[in-house]
């Protein structure tokens, strides 16, 4: 029975959070933070497939997230809402609830196909050159959406809240929280299955010695294709969630800064460690949100003891000083990240008794 402890705890946590949100014990802000943690877990663990397990340096993850976000949003708006740009709903809005996972998956598939933009050049290029290609892919995708007036162009796309409302019309429960839990758990589950199988370990072999991998019958091109498509497909799913949590997307929220956030999370957690990615996503999101309160508190503090002129104030921009600084310190003192390439169960072997994921 022991081996079910971890899955049961995870389920209890998810159900508990949803119930607490339903009975208004959790305020909306905390709910949003939890959902963003979910999105960031998907982003960092899927990015880890490329940067950690396969050892390539990609830095355009947000581009694929944008594809997923736009495809899912446009499909949902087109089919289930009455909007000016896409006309009347094709299907009845109540069906949005049942088709939401389908449109999310379609967004993921679209993002996976866009992943070919990076996967195909990766056959011949690697390292810095591949990094530049991924960067370029990010720019191409973002400017594509900026110039597509049918989806709002640079003004962004709205109307996803309508979908949530029509889901809530069917049953008034916190749907986005549920979907975030479902997709986050599913992502971690899928990645875990992939990297623990002999098939998936092929990408780790590519990381450690590509020539040896090729000579020992690993089809390296196919493995790269699978890895890039899986990674960008999951990023697309993260994008779809992100769009529906916010209810509004803008091409510029998927620019290089967002990709950098993904990079920070992967390197913070440790390359090639799934539990590291999850932990890093949690820490990073809490840090970003925490600084929202810490910076004003610090501001009050330095004015309480009159150390600085009255007119000087610490602003939220300081966040983008503190987080990179943490990264600098991390790279200096623990370049392998929090977990290195090990999993939580390698640090605490006793933990293995408490779960058994096949």
Partner 1 sequence: MSLLKIKGLTQQFGGLTAVSDFATEFQGNELMGLIGPNGAGKTTVFNIVSGFYKPTEGKILFAEKPIDGLKPHKVTAMGIARTFQNIRLWHDMSLLDNILISQHYNLGYNLFDLFVRNKRYVENEKRMRNIAMQLLEQLDLVQFMDEKPKNLPYGVQRKIEIARALSVKPSLLLLDEPAAGLNSSDVQELIKLIAWIHKEFKIAIWMIEHQMAVVMSLCSWIQVIDFGKTIAEGTPEQIQNNPAVIKAYLGDENI
Q: Name which position in 190, 287, 318, 327 contacts partner 1 (CB under 8 A).
A: 190
Q: Phi and psi of 173, rounded to 5°?
A: -135, 160
Stretch that binds partner 1, among 6-14, 30-38, 187-195, 231-239 (CB under 8 A): 187-195
Rounded to a whole number of angstroms, the minimum distance from the CB of residue 7 to partner 1 is 15
Binding positions for partner 1, 325-344, rule CB under 8 A? 341
Residues touching partner 1: how many (CB under 8 A)?
26
Is residue 123 part of the contact set for partner 1 (CB under 8 A)?
no
Is residue 193 part of the contact set for partner 1 (CB under 8 A)?
yes
Is residue 124 part of the contact set for partner 1 (CB under 8 A)?
no
Q: Name which position in 102, 197, 257, 312 contacts partner 1 (CB under 8 A).
A: 197
Stretch that binds partner 1, among 84-92, 113-121, 212-220, 330-338 (CB under 8 A): 212-220
Q: Name which position in 150, 217, 300, 311 contacts partner 1 (CB under 8 A).
A: 217
Is residue 3 part of the contact set for partner 1 (CB under 8 A)?
no
Each residue 277-306 as x (binds partner 1 by CB under 8 A) or -, in order, gives ------------------------------
| N-term to C-term CA, the chain | 15
Q: Name which position in 5, 220, 260, 345 contacts partner 1 (CB under 8 A).
A: 220
Gap between the Cα atoms of 328 and 257, Å rounded = 17
Nearer to partner 1, 20 or 190 (CB): 190
Is residue 319 part of the contact set for partner 1 (CB under 8 A)?
no
Rounded to a whole number of angstroms, the minimum distance from the CB of residue 27 to partner 1 is 37
Is residue 218 part of the contact set for partner 1 (CB under 8 A)?
yes
Rounded to a whole number of angstroms, the minimum distance from the CB of residue 196 to partner 1 is 10
Nearer to partner 1, 2 or 358 (CB): 358
Rounded to a whole number of angstroms, the minimum distance from the CB of residue 213 to partner 1 is 7
Is residue 182 part of the contact set for partner 1 (CB under 8 A)?
no
HEC profile of the chain: CHHHHHHHHHHHHHHHHHHHHHCCCCCHHHHHHHHHHHHHHHHHHHHHHHHHHCCCCCCCHHHHHHHHHHHHHHHHHHHHCCECCCECCCCCHHHHHHHHHHHHHHHHHHHHHHCHHHHCHHHCCCHHHHHHHHHHHHHHHHHHHHCCHHHCHHHCEECHHHHHHHHHHHCCCCHHHHHHHHHHHHHHHHHHHHHHCHHHHHHHHHHHCHHHHHHCCCCHHHHHHHHHHHHHHHHHHHHHHHHHHHCEECHHHHCHHHHHHHHHHHHHHCCCCHHHHHHHHHHHHHHHHHHHHHHHHHHHHHHHCCCCCCCCCCCHHHHHHHHHHHHHHHHHHCCCCCCCCCCHHHHCHHHHHHCCCC
Q: Residue 83's beta-bridge partner residues?
A: 87
Each residue 226-265 as x (binds partner 1 by CB under 8 A) or -, in order, gives x---------------------------------------
Stretch that binds partner 1, among 110-118, 216-224, 240-248, 301-309 (CB under 8 A): 216-224
Rounded to a whole number of angstroms, the minimum distance from the CB of residue 153 to partner 1 is 37
Spatial contact of 239 and 187, defined as CB atoms under 8 Å apart: no
Could you list the residues that contact partner 1 (CB under 8 A)? 190, 193-194, 197-202, 204-205, 208-209, 211-220, 226, 341, 358
């Amino acid at each position: 029975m022991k081996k079910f402890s971890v899955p049961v705890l995870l389920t209890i946590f998810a159900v508990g959070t949803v119930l607490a949100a339903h009975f208004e014990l959790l305020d909306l802000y905390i709910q949003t933070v939890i959902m963003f943690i979910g999105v960031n877990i998907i982003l960092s663990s899927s990015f880890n497939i490329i940067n950690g397990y396969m050892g390539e340096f990609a830095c355009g993850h947000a581009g694929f997230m944008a594809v997923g976000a736009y495809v899912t949003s446009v499909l949902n708006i087109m089919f289930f809402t009455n909007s000016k740009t896409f006309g009347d709903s094709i299907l009845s809005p109540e069906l949005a609830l049942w088709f939401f996972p389908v449109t999310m998956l379609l967004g993921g598939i679209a993002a996976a196909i866009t992943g070919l933009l990076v996967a195909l050049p990766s056959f011949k290029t690697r390292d810095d050159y591949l990094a530049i290609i991924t960067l370029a892919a990010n720019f191409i995708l973002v400017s594509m959406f900026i110039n597509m007036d049918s989806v709002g162009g640079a003004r962004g796309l709205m109307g996803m809240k309508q979908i949530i409302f029509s889901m809530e019309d069917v049953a008034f429960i916190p749907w986005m929280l549920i979907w975030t839990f479902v997709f986050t758990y599913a992502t971690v589950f899928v990645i875990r299955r992939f990297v623990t199988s002999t098939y998936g370990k092929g990408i780790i072999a590519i990381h450690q010695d590509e020539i040896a991998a090729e000579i020992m019958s690993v089809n390296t091109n196919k493995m790269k294709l699978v890895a890039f498509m899986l990674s960008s497909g999951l990023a697309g799913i993260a994008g779809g969630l992100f769009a529906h949590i916010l209810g509004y997307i803008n091409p510029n929220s998927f620019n290089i800064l967002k990709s950098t956030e993904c990079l920070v999370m992967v390197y913070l957690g440790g390359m090639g460690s799934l539990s590291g990615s999850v932990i890093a996503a949690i820490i990073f999101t809490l840090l970003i949100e925490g600084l929202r309160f810490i910076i004003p508190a610090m501001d009050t503090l330095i004015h309480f003891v009159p150390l600085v002129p009255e007119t000087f104030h610490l602003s939220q921009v300081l966040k983008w000083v503190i987080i990179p600084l943490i990264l600098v310190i991390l790279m200096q003192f623990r370049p392998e990240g929090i977990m290195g390439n090990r999993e939580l169960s390698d640090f605490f072997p006793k933990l293995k008794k408490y779960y058994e994921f096949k």
